[in-house]
Structures are given as C-alpha cells and as structure tokens.
A and B are shown apart, each in its own frame.
Chain A
Amino acid sequence: MKSKATGQKSVAQATNTRLDRRTSLALYRQMLVIRRCEEQLARSYQAGFIPGACHTYIGQEAVATGVCAHLRPDDAVFSTHRGHGHALAKGVSVRRVIAELFGKATGCSAGRGGSMHLFAPEVGMMGTSGIVAPCILQATGAGYSFKLLKTDRVGVAFFGDGAVNNGAFHEGLNMAAVWELPTLFVCENNMYATEVPFASATRNQDVASRAAVYGLPGVAVDGNDVIAVYKAAGEAISRARAGGGPTLIECKTYRTRPHAEGMRDAGYRTVEEIEAWKARDPIPHFRAHVMATGMASEDECDQIDAEVKTLIEDGLQFAMDSPWPDPATALDHVYSTGK
C-alpha cells in the first residue's frame, strides 16, 4: 500500500468531535492519574525519597493519554527522559512507577533504572531513556519487526522538540517512510530543550512540516487538547495497522514545572508565559468539556478524583513499604545467559 498525503499539515479542530462517555471518562481519569502521580513524585523528590533525576510531565498529560488510549499491550512504546506519563498511560501501575523512582526492588525496573529507565515490556513499555533520540530509531525498528512478523502491531516513539534536530530523527523518519513501517512519531513540542528555546535551535520550527521532506504524513495538533491528540493518533494508528505506513504528529504543548525537579525555572522563560499555559491546563479544560457535554456530572468527576487520590496514596505507601533490591542482583542480566 502506498502512503498518502505526504506532509499534509492540518491543525485538527477536534474539540467538536464527540467521544463516547466511556472513552471520555477513561481519558479524564488517565490524565489525572499522571498529574497526581507527578505531583506526588515532586513532593517525594523534595522530601528526599528520590535519589536520582525526576523530569515531570505536568502540563503534557493530554499527549500520552490521547495516543496510548489507542494502543494494545502488544504495541511498543519507546520514550524519553520525560517518560513517567508514557509509562503510566501504557499500563505500568502507579505502584511500580513510584517504587522505581524510590529505587525499590518492586519498581518496574527492579530498582536498576529510576526515572529515565522505566521498563515494562510485558505491557509494551520498552523504556524511558537517558539519551535523547534513540527512541525514534527503536520505534522504527519495532515497526520493522511488526511488519516482518506480519502483525498489525505498531511502534510508537515519544520525543521532545530537542530530538528533532538530532540525526536519529532524520534517519528514522526516512527509513520508516521508505519502508512504509507501522510506526508513529509523536513529537511533544514544549518549546524548550532544557532551557534552550526551540526558536534558537532551528530555523524551521514547524516540526510537522518536516514530514514532507521524508514523504510521510505530518500533522500538528494542540497537545493540550486531549480530544485533538486522541483523534489524530487514532487516524495515524489505524493507518499504520492497515499497512499505510508511518505518521509524524507534532503536539504543541508546555511543561509547567522546571526541566527537572530541583532545578531553577527562571532566566529563560517568563512568568507570564508559564501562567498563560497554566490557564490552558488540559485537565480542567477537559473536565469542563465532559460536564458541559453532559457526559458526566460534577459528582461523577469528583468520584474519579477521589479514586485517583486513593490510587496515588496506595502507590506511595507501596513504594515506602517495599524492600530495597538485594545487592547480589547488581550483576544480573548483563548477558542473556548468566555470564
């Protein structure tokens, strides 16, 4: 099958699209799980329970939520240093995420990973990463496997604006396009790479437009609008499953906390800019939408809020109570067969 619509860019006006009640509530709940989990991780970081890095996903929840809602456990997600949201949306439990950041044996990587190495291949979470951009190539490779194995599974790469000027973006999109691989490239353009504005890193800031260079469809969406993300991802994933090849989706979004916990958040962006994006917070917006369209009452939303609160408290308690890894396991799994 030939891939079509090369480089067609359309800012999806998806907020008008009606989702069913079940999907809407699932999206709302998923975004809230990520938000509350991240807030808890930020508090735990400040309290000294997280010994390593912690890059929160606060403000960007609509992206992972809208994309992963279409994925099955046998689809493969390859993520970044800002990947807690991807892991949670792909089905890793709050318990195992918090425990991993605490360095506990019960964490999803058995305490050998931390924030930037969250692995749960049993649900298709193929890793967050301490290195910017290889996820693009690995998701392309998953697409290669899934095509060779004649399945309808898809590979998905999440990456930031910082990755699109890396060679992996060029090489990965080129190979995925020419071989028509079932791969979805999701760029979360939050306007900064650490503290470097995207505008000072590249002349062409229109990420979606770059798809045309490689001959695959490119779409830009409001990454703070979960319905827009959900719709664009749904189309791209259906096309990929049907043999129609890869898609690049640029989600324009914003992180409202510093690059990483413990870092300053001044000198490179203005308070006004942060406040303006906070006013576009994806979660209250979607909550209001759900209520305005009569899909759920305020009580029902409150009920979800309460459930999520309990879930996070349970995850925190689980992490606190969990044992440390046995030092004797530090050498395990360097090779497939013992030594």
Chain B
Amino acid sequence: MRELTFTAAAHEGLAEEMASDPTIFVVGEGIGRRGGNFNTTTGLYDLYGPERLRDTPICERGFVGLCVGAAMTGTRPVVDFMFIDFILDAMGELINQAAKMQYMSSGRLKMPLVLRGCIGVGGASATHHSGSYASIFVHLPGFRVVIPTTPYDAKGLLKTSIRSDDPVLFLEHKSLLNTKGPVPEGEYTVPFGQASVCRQGTDVTVVAIALMVKKTLEVCEQLVQEGISVEVIDPRTVAPLDIDTIIESVHKTGRLLIVDETFAPCAIGAEVAAQVMDRAFDDLDAPVRRLNGVQTPVPYSAPLEAAVVPQPPAIAQAIRDVVAE
C-alpha cells in the first residue's frame, strides 16, 4: 500500500470532500493562495477560488461567528486555525452558540462546522503555540473531539468530521504531521467513537492520547524484553469516547495507565479512570494511574520543554510501576 504523511493524508481527505460537496468552504489565515501554514490547503485555491478558500482578517471570534451563521444556513464551513491556541479568541461563539444551536432549535438547525488546528508541545513553539485544549471541549455537551494519530486516521476521520452535522474539533499534533503511514487509494472513512487497539498485550492497558500513542509504542519492545506485555489503545475520538474497547482491554489485563501530554485535572485521563472504576472495578488488579504533562504554561527552551511532557523513559517507568503494584 502507498505511504503518505499525516499532512498529505488529511489534505487528500479535505480535497476529496470539497470536490464532492460544493457547500464546503474553508476559512483561515493564509489558507488561500499560500496553502496553509501547515500545508493543509495546498493547491485547493487554484481549484476553488477565494469564496471556498477564504483568507480572513485576523479576527478569530469574527470568522468563527460567521461560520456558525453559515452552518445554520446551508453551507459546511471548515475553520483552519493553524495553531489551535487561536481558538481561545472564539470561545463564546463556540460554547454558547455552535455547541448549543441544535439544542436551542430543537434539532431544526444543524451545525456542520469543523474546527481544525495543530496542537501539542514541541519544536520550541512556546506557550502561545503549544496548547491542546481537548478536554475543555470534551467537558461540554454538543462537541465532537477528534485526535487522529496516523495518516490513515487523519484522512478517514477528517472526512467523517466534514460530513458530520455536529461541531467537530479536529486536532492535529504538530509532531505527527510528517509521520508516514499506509493510506489506501480508495474511498474510506473512519467512524467516530471507535478506538483503535494499536498493539495487543496482556499485562497492562495503556490509553494514550495524540503524540503519546507514538511515544508509548516506542517503549513497548523494551518492556517485552523485561517481560511486560503492553496493550496500547488510541481512542482516536475522545468525544465520543469508546469506553467499551478500553473496558474490554482492562478486563483482560487488569491494569490501566492513561498517558496524555496535557494537564491532569478534569482531563481525559480522569474521565477514563472514573468510567473504568464505575464499570470495571472488579477487573482491576491495581489502582488506575495517569501520566500527564506538568500543569504549567509551556516553556520555550528545549530542556525546559522536555521537562513538562511525558518522555519515553517516564512512560516506560510508569508502565513498570503499574505492573508492579
């Protein structure tokens, strides 16, 4: 099978959807002729012109509010934030408007709105270009939150996101954009709410989020040599969350670690832990553990940056600790 980068696969998903549905348009800064800061729209401007590849003024609240109105009136906007940190300027339009519009209108209005942007710590991006914010949206009714980690999932989930009638956060980790992976030539989509078991194992379940999937997979071979068999689950979408797949795995392994580079309080790990305790307490042979990034704004310099997110040695150690309990 051919291999594509994460970026190329997602681009192909967007291009295919735009070709088949003329009501889709993209807004963002530099997504027109420039093709996007992260090459999200390369070449599409030449095909579809400025109305469907709309370079905006730098007014995140304004163009998100505009897209909410557009989604209510028959078109399907894709907001390309470049860095997801910029979404924070538009929170009122998202939380009070986009997420509540279907409810307020008793289902008579739909909200086909995609909100995409790069997340994650890395590359000396520093504190205004390193956020993730997924758990804020997971907390709120109305949003779908998608975090693909492979090129295959990036394409399939972006297509599902664009076809969804709900507002969807589509979060792309910067450090995954150039990773390559198999992507079939033909049409496919990946559904929301289906986790992927990336590696099968018997001793411990690790639920990893975004870049942490890759980092966890990196340490698994080493752990095999130490006699620890790790099962790695990538939820792929955290709202909806496929808790059944996680519970099935915990039923087998009896142990659970959640690895997420974002902050621990009220975040995805806390939610997974609570749901597993609710539904699979008797399966657990040890307390559920979390490994998170440090709760701090993100620093710039490489040694500081590396200190605030889980690194492979820390992940390996956390897995050993859970198994030892």
A and B interact: yes
The reply to whether B102 and A138 form a contact with Cβ atoms under 8 Å apart is no
- A106-146 vs B, Cβ < 8 Å mask (1 yes, 0 no): 00011011000101011000110011001011111111111
Contacts of A200 in B (CB 8 A): none
Q: How far is the CA of A328 from the CA of B93 in the complex (A)?
A: 28
The reply to whether B166 and A335 form a contact with Cβ atoms under 8 Å apart is yes
B115 to chain A, nearest CB (A): 14
The reply to whether A144 and B75 form a contact with Cβ atoms under 8 Å apart is yes
A2 within 8 A of B: no
Shortest Cβ distance from A176 into B: residue: B66
Shortest Cβ distance from B112 into A: residue: A336
Contacts of B146 in A (CB 8 A): none
The reply to whether B51 and A172 form a contact with Cβ atoms under 8 Å apart is no
- B59-97 vs A, Cβ < 8 Å mask (1 yes, 0 no): 101111111111111110100000000000000110011
B188 within 8 A of A: no
The reply to whether A142 and B73 form a contact with Cβ atoms under 8 Å apart is yes
Q: How far is the CA of A130 from the CA of B164 in the complex (A)?
A: 26
Within 8 Å by CB of A336, from B64, B70, B110, lies B110
Q: Could you say which interface size class chain A belongs to?
A: 35 or more
The reply to whether A168 and B105 form a contact with Cβ atoms under 8 Å apart is no
Listed stretches A22-30, A147-155, A225-233, A238-246; interface member:
A147-155
Query: Which B residues between 176 and 199 are near A, CB-CB below 8 angstroms?
Result: none
The reply to whether B92 and A131 form a contact with Cβ atoms under 8 Å apart is yes
The reply to whether A148 and B52 form a contact with Cβ atoms under 8 Å apart is yes
Q: How far is the CA of A307 from the CA of B74 in the complex (A)?
A: 37
Within 8 Å by CB of A112, from B92, B97, B106, B110, lies B106
B293 within 8 A of A: no
A-B contact count (CB 8 A): 151
The reply to whether A139 and B69 form a contact with Cβ atoms under 8 Å apart is yes
B287 within 8 A of A: no
The reply to whether B106 and A134 form a contact with Cβ atoms under 8 Å apart is no
Within 8 Å by CB of B69, from A121, A130, A141, A149, lies A141
A327 within 8 A of B: no
B25 within 8 A of A: yes
Given known pairs A131-B97, A138-B69, A339-B240, the reply for A112 and B23 (CB within 8 Å) is: no
The reply to whether A112 and B102 form a contact with Cβ atoms under 8 Å apart is no
Contacts of A141 in B (CB 8 A): 65-73, 77
The reply to whether B103 and A175 form a contact with Cβ atoms under 8 Å apart is no
Within 8 Å by CB of A121, from B57, B64, B108, B165, lies B108
Interface core residue of B101, B104, B110, B165 (most chain A CB under 10 Å): B104
Contacts of A136 in B (CB 8 A): 65
Query: Which B residues between 102 and 142 are near A, CB-CB below 8 angstroms?
Result: 102-111, 141-142
A286 within 8 A of B: no
The reply to whether B106 and A174 form a contact with Cβ atoms under 8 Å apart is no
Given known pairs A126-B72, A138-B72, A145-B75, the reply for A333 and B62 (CB within 8 Å) is: no
B39 within 8 A of A: no
Shortest Cβ distance from A127 into B: residue: B104
A178 within 8 A of B: yes
B202 within 8 A of A: no
Interface core residue of A122, A127, A136, A144 (most chain B CB under 10 Å): A144
Q: How far is the CA of A334 from the CA of B97 in the complex (A)?
A: 12
B42 within 8 A of A: no
A78 within 8 A of B: yes
Q: List 17 A-B contacts (CB under 8 A).
A: A76-B73, A109-B106, A138-B68, A141-B77, A142-B70, A144-B25, A145-B75, A148-B23, A149-B74, A167-B62, A171-B62, A172-B66, A175-B59, A178-B57, A335-B102, A335-B144, A336-B107
With contacts A148-B75, A336-B102 known, what are 5 further pairs, Cβ within 8 A?
A145-B73, A171-B57, A175-B57, A179-B54, A337-B166
